[in-house]
Structure formats: structure tokens, C-alpha cells
């Protein structure tokens, strides 16, 4: 129906905890390498910050990338607190259509299938049909995009959606301009956000 509010939920760091999964695996695989505490993460890409901070280690970038290129990394990501419950409630709300809009990594082999598996396992099989996989989220048509990445650009200069920034350690110090934030799925703010958008 034309009047439904179409909500696009990003996956990594909005539903699935990429940063925590990364940190734990990195510490396990490279216990002798230096690391960045999760609360000190700045900027979207983990690899960029590690390469900058630990440039004296020639292959630090490869070590970082190896973590998320590994089989089962995406599948085993823990849930962001409250995300799965909120997403399920959101999907049941009158006048709302929910989709998951997520970008795969370039080494897509495990990532692609494991994103589907994660959704199936944590949200349920009926959610698999709601997945939009794209590197260019401006091509996805919706009213609201909840995403932790601050810079979301692509082929369409003025996307249909309004971007609400989901708070993450890496974006807390980043200027988000006039955009709104959603800090978490646990304090109920998301319900107000949805009601605001439904009234437009």
C-alpha cells in the first residue's frame, strides 16, 4: 500500500555487532598485535584506523581484513542489544514495512550467504525476503534509513530516504550535520522516531 512507511534497517552495527565480533576475533587471532579499545574507535572503517595508528606494522591492514574475510565471521556476529526484539516489533506495527539494507564486503564469498543465514537464524525465515543487498544504498527506495555509517552516498544525489544515524563508538565524535540520531534499541526512542515519521 502506498501509504506505508518503508523503514530500511542497516545490518552491521544496527542489528549485528560487527565491532564486537571484530574485536574479539582480532584479539584471539593476533594476541601479540596492538589493538584499539572499542570505545576508542573513530571512523567507519576499522582497517583505516588500525593502519593509521599502527603504521609501523607493515601488514596490520591485512591482519584486520583477515578477520572479516574469514568463514563464519558474519554468521557468528552477536546481536546489537535489543535490535532483534525492536525489529520484530517494528515489523508488526500497523502501516510500517521493514527491510534490511546491507552492503557486502568485496570478498563476498562467505559474507553474502552468512548475512542471509544470520537473518534467518536471528529474525526468522520470513525476514530473508526483506533483505536488500547493495553497495549503493541510495538506490534503495524507502522513507527512513537507520544506519551507523555517516557518509552514505551513491548514484542518486537525493535519495528517497532520510538517514537517521544509529549511534556507534566510531561515529560519536563525527559531525552528522542536521541529521537525527538513534542511540540504541533499548530505551524506547525508536518508537517515537517511527511515530514521527508516520505522521509526515
Residues binding ligand U5P (CB under 6 A): 10-12, 18, 45-47, 68, 102-105, 149
Q: Which of 12, 17, 147, 148 is catalytic?
A: 12
Helix (H, G, I), strand (E, B), or coil: what is residue 25?
helix
> 77: which DSSP letter?
P
Active site residue 12: yes
Smaller CB separation from ligand U5P, 105 or 176: 105
Positive or negative torsion for Cα 135, 141, 146, 152: positive
Q: Which of 10, 17, 147, 148 is catalytic?
A: 10
Smaller CB separation from ligand U5P, 26 or 190: 26
Angstrom distances, CA of residue 18 to CA of 3, 26, 139: 34, 12, 24
**Closest CB 1 distance from ligand U5P, rounded Å:** 27
**Closest CB 74 distance from ligand U5P, rounded Å:** 7
> 79: which DSSP letter?
B
Smaller CB separation from ligand U5P, 135 or 191: 135
**Closest CB 95 distance from ligand U5P, rounded Å:** 25
Active site residue 147: no
49-83 burial: b if 16+ Cβ within 10 Å, else e? bbbeebeeeeebbebbbbbbbeeebbbebebbeeb
Which residues belong to the active site? 10, 12
Amino acid at each position: 500500500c502506498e501509504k506505508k512507511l518503508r523503514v530500511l534497517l542497516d545490518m552491521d552495527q544496527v542489528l549485528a555487532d560487527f565491532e564486537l565480533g571484530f574485536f574479539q576475533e582480532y584479539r584471539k587471532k593476533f594476541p601479540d598485535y596492538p589493538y584499539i579499545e572499542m570505545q576508542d574507535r573513530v571512523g567507519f572503517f576499522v582497517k583505516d584506523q588500525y593502519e593509521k595508528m599502527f603504521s609501523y606494522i607493515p601488514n596490520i591492514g591485512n591482519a584486520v581484513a583477515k578477520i572479516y574475510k574469514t568463514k563464519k565471521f558474519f554468521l557468528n556476529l552477536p546481536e546489537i542489544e535489543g535490535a532483534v526484539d525492536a525489529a520484530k516489533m517494528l515489523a508488526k506495527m500497523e502501516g510500517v514495512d521493514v527491510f534490511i539494507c546491507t552492503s557486502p564486503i568485496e570478498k563476498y564469498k562467505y559474507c553474502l550467504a552468512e548475512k542471509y543465514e544470520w537473518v534467518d537464524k536471528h529474525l526468522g525465515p520470513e525476514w530473508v525476503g526483506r533483505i536488500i543487498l547493495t553497495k549503493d544504498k541510495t538506490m534503495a527506495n524507502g522513507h527512513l534509513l537507520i544506519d551507523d555509517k555517516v557518509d552514505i552516498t551513491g548514484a542518486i544525489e537525493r535519495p528517497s530516504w532520510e538517514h537517521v544515524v544509529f549511534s556507534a563508538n566510531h561515529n560519536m565524535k563525527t559531525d552528522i550535520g542536521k541529521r537525527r540520531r538513534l542511540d540504541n534499541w533499548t530505551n524506547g526512542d525508536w518508537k517515537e522516531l517511527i511515530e514521527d515519521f508516520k505522521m509526515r
